Amino acid sequence: MTHDPADSSAPSLSSPLVPLTREWLSAVGEDPEREGLLKTPERVAKAWGFLTNGYTQTLSAVSNGAIFAAEGSEMVIVKDIEFYSMCEHHMLPFYGRAHVAYIPDKHILGLSKFARIIDLYSRRLQVQERITTQVADAVEALLAPKGVAVLMEGVHLCMAMRGVQKQNSSTTTSAMRGLFRSDPRTRAEFMSAVQGTLRGR
C-alpha cells in the first residue's frame, strides 16, 4: 500500500497542538483527563495537520508536471469539485463545490490536478473569496490560457450554527480572467454549463 502524502498523520504527541488542545478543553469547562477525552488532543493535532496541509504544499508540487501540449482551443470545464476549508474568522468549517473552466492556448492540465489545486488553497485558514482568486491565479500561472473562470459555492457553518443561524444560506464567489471577463458570450457559456449544478437550482 502506497502512502498518500495528503493523509497527514504527522502531528503526534510532540505537536504543540496537543498541550494547546488540553488547555482549550479546560478553558471551555471540560476535564481533559476524563476517559472520553484522553486521546482527543492527539486526534485534534492529527486532524488539524490534515485540514491545514495546504501550507506545506506548493503549486509546482501538486501540478507535478502534468502540463501537456494543447491540441485545440475549446473550453474545458471541470465541475462539482468538492472542497472543505476552515473559516479564518471563527475557525469553523465551510464547504461546497467548485467549478473551473479555461480556454487553452498552448497547454492543458491533467484533469485531476484541478482538484489538487483547490485542496492546496482550501486546506488552510481561509475565506472563500480568496480561494476563488487563488485558484484562478494558479491556473493562469500554470497554463497562460486564453481565459480562466472559477465559480465556488459554499456553506459556512459560522453562519449556520452560530451568529445569524441561517442553515439554508450559501455563498457564491467567482473569478474571471481573459476571455471570460472580456467576452460576454464566453462567460455566458460557462455559466450556462454550471447553472444546473448550483445549490437550489
**Helix (H), strand (E) at residue 174:** strand 171-178
Is the pLDDT confidence value at 110 over 60? yes
- What topology does CATH give the domain 1-51? GTP Cyclohydrolase I; Chain A, domain 1 (1.10.286)
Q: Lowest mean pLDDT of 5-9, 19-23, 111-115, 173-177, name the range.
A: 5-9
CB-CB contact of 153 with 171 (8 Å): yes
Which residues are tagged catalytic?
87-90, 128, 156, 158
**CATH number 3.30.1130.10 given to 66-195:** yes
Helices of type H across the chain: 17-27, 40-51, 59-63, 112-122, 128-143, 157-160, 179-182, 184-195
Identify which of 62, 39, 48 has the alpha carbon closest to the alpha carbon of residue 123: 48
What is the C-alpha R_g of the chain? 20
DSSP state of 89: T
Q: Decide: helix, strand or coil at residue 77.
A: strand
Q: Quickly tell me which residue has 454549463 as its cell.
A: 193
Amino acid at 191: M
CB-CB contact of 99 with 139 (8 Å): no
With cut-offs at 50, 70 and 90, classify the pLDDT of residue 163: confident
Sequence ranges of the domains in the chain: 1-51, 66-195
With cut-offs at 50, 70 and 90, classify the pLDDT of residue 3: very low
Q: CA-CA distance, 135 to 47, in Å (whole number)?
A: 24
Is the pLDDT confidence value at 5 over 70? no
- What integer best gives the mean pLDDT of the chain? 91
pLDDT in tens, 42-64: 999 999 999 999 999 999 999 99
Query: Can you say whether residue 163 is alpha, beta or left, with left for phi > 0 and alpha for psi between -120 and 50 degrees?
Result: left
In the chain the first and final C-alpha atoms are separated, in Å, by 41
Q: What is the mean pLDDT of residues 152-174?
A: 88
Cβ-Cβ contacts under 8 Å for 23 (sequence gap 6 or more): none
